Amino acid sequence: MFSPDIAGHQATRERLLQRLQGGRIRGSLLFTGPEGIGKRRVALELAQRELCLRRSACGQCEGCRMFQGEDLPYELPNLLRIAPEGKAGVIRIDQIREGLDSNNQPRFSRGVIEWAALAPAMGCHRWILIEEAHRLNESSGNVLLKTLEEPPPDTHFILVTHRPEALLQTIRSRCERIPFSPLAPREAWAVAQRNGWQEADHDRWLALGEGSLRHLDEATFRRAEAQVEAWLALMAGRAFAEASGPLLPEKESTLAQGEQLRQPLELLLRLLADLARIRAGETPALGPWREELSALATPERNLKAPQEAALQALRHLPRNLSPEPLLREVALALVS
In a domain, 1, yes or no: no
Q: Which residue type does 41 have? A: R
Residue 19 predicted with pLDDT over 50: yes
Given a cut of 50, whether residue 94 has pLDDT beyond it is: yes
Q: Is the pLDDT of residue 282 over 70?
A: yes
Domain count, the chain: 2
Do 159 and 221 sit in the same domain of this protein?
no
224-243 mean pLDDT = 97
**DSSP code, position 111:** -
Residue 3 has pLDDT above 90, yes or no: no
Same domain, 19 and 153: yes
**Mind giving me the DSSP string for 14-34?**
HHHHHHHHTT---SEEEEESS
The answer to the question of residue 212 being in a domain is no
Q: In this structure, how many other beta carbons lie within 10 angstroms of the beta carbon of residue 46?
A: 22
Q: How confident is the model at residue 102 (pLDDT cuts 50, 70, 90)?
A: very low
Average pLDDT, whole number, for the chain? 88
State how far the Cα of 239 lies from the Cα of 233, in Å rounded to an integer.
8
Q: Flag the least confident range among 66-70, 96-100, 315-319.
A: 96-100
CA distance 107 to 110: 9
Burial (CB < 10 A; 0-12, 13-18, 19+), residue 38, is buried
Q: Are residues 25 and 160 in the same domain?
A: yes
- Is residue 332 within 8 Å of residue 256, measured between CB atoms? no
Classify residue 106 by its DSSP letter.
B
- pLDDT of residue 101 exceeding 70, the answer is no
Residue 172's pLDDT is 94
Residues 272, 155 share a domain:
no
197 inside domain: no
Instruction: Examine residue 208 and state whether it is found in any structural domain, yes or no.
Output: no
Query: Sheet containing 176-179: which strands, arranged edge to edge?
Result: 75-76, 79-82, 126-130, 155-161, 28-32, 176-179
Q: What pLDDT sits at residue 104?
A: 47
pLDDT single digits (tens) 138-194: 888 888 888 888 888 888 999 999 999 989 999 999 999 999 999 999 999 999 999
Q: Among the three residues 179, 206, 239, which one is the final residue of a domain in this structure?
A: 179
CA 162 to the chain's CA centroid? 5
* CA-closest candidate to residue 230, choices 277, 279, 263: 263
CA distance linking residue 119 with residue 152, whole number of Å: 9
Percent of all residues in the chain with a pLDDT value above 90, rounded to a whole number: 57
Residue 136 clears pLDDT 80, i.e. is over it? yes
**Band of the pLDDT at 320, cuts 50, 70, 90?**
low
> Which is more confidently placed, 298 or 54?
298
**Residue 131, domain CATH:** 3.40.50.300
One domain, residues 104 and 35: yes
Output DSSP code: residue 252.
T
Contact status, residue 158 vs residue 129, Cβ threshold 8 Å: yes
**Direct distance between the N- and C-terminal alpha carbons of the chain, in angstroms, rounded to an integer:** 57
305 shares a domain with 168: no
Q: Does 150 share its domain with 285?
A: no
- Is 205 among the domain residues? no
The answer as to whether 204 is a domain residue is no
Amino acid (1-letter code) at residue 136: L
In a domain, 166, yes or no: yes
Q: Which domain holds residue 173?
A: 10-179
